[in-house]
Amino acid sequence: DAGITQSPRYKITETGRQVTLMCHQTWSHSYMFWYRQDLGHGLRLIYYSAAADITDKGEVPDGYVVSRSKTENFPLTLESATRSQTSVYFCASGEQGRTDTQYFGPGTRLTVL
């Protein structure tokens, strides 16, 4: 399917466990982004990537790790999940030079018990 997909859509885990959220896009967009959405905070940028093997921190990167070995994939890993990381996570992509228009995936709702 064309577009941007995220998996899983829902995840429940326990404190201290490692969790990886997957993001895949079929447009070959250069840029990819990870946001978290929390009530009262809107969306906050966690990490972004300008191209394969190029990543950079956003506003709230602590506790998260990203990688981008292929243009189309941008996984987000919580190395040791904490309750404060309970949130809805959105992946987005954007074209080089046109990142004002970002295309969002459907989100992953993560609950850390």
Partner 1 sequence: GDSVTQMEGPVTLSEEAFLTINCTYTATGYPSLFWYVQYPGEGLQLLLKATKADDKGSNKGFEATYRKETTSFHLEKGSVQVSDSAVYFCAQKATGSARQLTFGSGTQLTVLP
Under rule CB under 8 A, residue 43 binds partner 1 = yes
Dist CA 28 CA 51 (whole Å): 10
Q: How many CA atoms lie less than 13 Å away from 112 in the CB half-sphere?
A: 18
d(CA 31, CA 49): 5
Answer yes or no whether residue 74 interacts with partner 1 by CB under 8 A. Answer: no
Number of Cα atoms under 13 Å in the Cβ half of residue 97? 0
* # binding residues, partner 1 (CB under 8 A): 26
Residue 101 in the binding site for partner 1 (CB under 8 A): yes
Would you count residue 44 as binding partner 1 (CB under 8 A)? Answer: yes
Instruction: Name residues contacting partner 1, limited to 50-69 (CB under 8 A).
Output: 50, 56, 58-59
Q: Which is nearer to partner 1, 14 or 56 (CB)?
A: 56
